Amino acid sequence: MAIQWFPGHMNKAKKAIGDRMKSVDMVIEVLDARCPGSSANPLLESLSGRKPKLKILNKRDLADDARTQLWLDYYSGQSQTQAIALDASERGNAVKLINASRQLVPNRGGIEKPLRVLICGIPNVGKSTLINSMLGKKSAKTGNEPGITKAEQRLFLADDFWLYDTPGMLWPKIIVPEGGYNLAASGAVGRNALDEEEVSLELLKYLSHNYFDLLTGRYQLDYEHDEMATWREEQWLEAIARKRGTILSGGRIDYQKAAEIVLTDFRSGQIGNITLELPNEWTKWLAAARVF
Ligand code: GDP
């Protein structure tokens, strides 16, 4: 898949995060609840070493609740780790985040020993939205396209709770192919960096196997259930294109347009509450990728 990465930016972020890591007590990692495995940057795991970690499964409002619970259980089984699921724009997130952090690092607190926390996340997971909602601000810095570089900031969520916003950008790092597709589908990589038709086909393959009813419910396709159950992803895309009338002159199908419709619907939650990977799927993909 043709995704262009930015190793220069990545190295700069790596150095800056490594420097900051020395003076913090724990790390908060913001993940996308629709693809928690894929939206984690493995670099952070190595940089943060044994520091306690709070995983935030953000965008829970778009994800599948039952699967979110599986991911929360999965992370809770890891040492020095806690996990909570959030919708970044909700009220009360600061309290949830502070409470979970204090449990992880009980020996810090009070003005003399403030709890120092580094918050990280790949672009577009909703880190700015979360920070702004916790500070009660409406900031201009949130947006739908990833890649707005920001300087490091120290934020005071409480007198004795200091939150360091990540210096530099933590770009996604694709370690398994499935992860690349899931990141692309969820919008974590810039629109021009990927082939939308290919991403939509992978998405349709996963949805037709795992969320068949949501897919048929959304597009109201005029076919028998049993017939659709045998379809390959190309047939789904074609049927959606026909239903939505994305037809070019001469009757040719505009697959690109149909792909855009599917991706936009998925990203905005119009198809339903969906999570693209399970903890056991993710670990299987990872194990297979390491063979090479
Ligand atoms: P950042 O690059 O990690 O700082 O991401 P942003 O905060 O700019 O968010 C990227 C996009 O995701 C924006 O369009 C946000 O409105 C949206 N977003 C962030 N958090 C949530 C969430 O919890 N639920 C939903 N539905 N959208 C969110």
Question: The tokens 């916003």 sit on which residue?
Answer: 165
What distance in angstroms lies between residue 32's CA and the mean position of ligand 1's atoms? 9
pLDDT at 259 over 80: yes
Q: What's the whole-number mean pLDDT along residues 140-157? A: 60
Q: Is the shortest distance between the CB of 123 and ligand 1 below 6 Å?
A: yes
Lowest mean pLDDT among 25-34, 158-167, 198-207: 158-167
Enumerate residues 6+ apart whose C-beta is below 8 A from 16: 152, 166, 167, 168
Q: What gap in Å lies between CA 149 and CA 50, rounded to an integer?
A: 28
pLDDT grade for 290, boundaries at 50, 70 and 90: low
HSE-up of 251 (CA within 13 Å, CB side)? 0
Quickly state the pLDDT bin for 182 (edges 50, 70, 90): very high
Phi-psi region of 124 (alpha: psi -120 to 50; beta: other; left: phi over 0): left
Which range of 23-27, 42-46, 152-156 scores highest in mean pLDDT? It is 23-27
Ligand 1 within 6 A of CB of 143: yes
Model confidence at 264: pLDDT above 60: yes
Domains in the chain with CATH codes? 7-165 (3.40.50.300), 195-290 (1.10.1580.10)
**Ligand 1 within 6 A of CB of 59:** yes
pLDDT in tens, 38-50: 999 988 988 999 9
Is a pLDDT exceeding 70 seen at residue 238?
yes
Inter-residue long-range contacts of 189-193, CB under 8 Å, 24+ positions, other chains counted: 189/3, 189/146, 190/145, 190/146, 190/147, 191/145, 193/2, 193/3, 193/4
- CA triple 178-221-197, angle to 5 deg: 35
pLDDT, average across residues 136-141: 57
Assess contact for 100 and 82: CB atoms under 8 A.
yes
Q: Is 107 in the pocket of ligand 1 (CB under 6 A)?
A: no
Of 228 and 174, more confident: 228
Mutate to test the pocket of ligand 1, among 91, 129, 139 (most ligand atoms within 8 A of CB): 129
Between these two residues, 166 and 73, which has the higher pLDDT value? 73
Residue 149: pLDDT band by 50, 70, 90 thresholds?
very low
| Dihedral Cα 107, 40, 168, 61, nearest 10 deg | -90
pLDDT mean over 225-229 = 97
Q: Give yes or no for residue 79 CB within 6 A of ligand 1.
A: no
Q: How confident is the model at residue 263 (pLDDT cuts 50, 70, 90)?
A: very high
Provide the CA 110 distance to its chain's centre, in angstroms: 33
pLDDT at position 193: 65
Ligand 1 touching residue 61 (CB < 6 A): yes
Instruction: Give me ligand 1 centre to Cα 170, in Å.
Output: 16
Q: Take atom 9 of ligand 1 and give the residue whose Cα is closest.
A: 126
Does the Cβ of 260 fall within 6 Å of ligand 1? no
Q: Show Cβ contacts of residue 228 under 8 Å, excluding neighbours closer than 6 positions.
A: 208, 212, 216, 221, 236, 239
ipTM score:
0.99
> Residue 63 Cα, ligand 1 centroid: separation in angstroms?
13
CA of 21 to the centre of ligand 1 (A): 25
Q: What confidence score (pLDDT) does residue 5 get? A: 56
| Neighbouring residues of 23: CB distance < 8 A, sequence distance ≥ 6 | 116
pLDDT at residue 143, as a whole number = 44
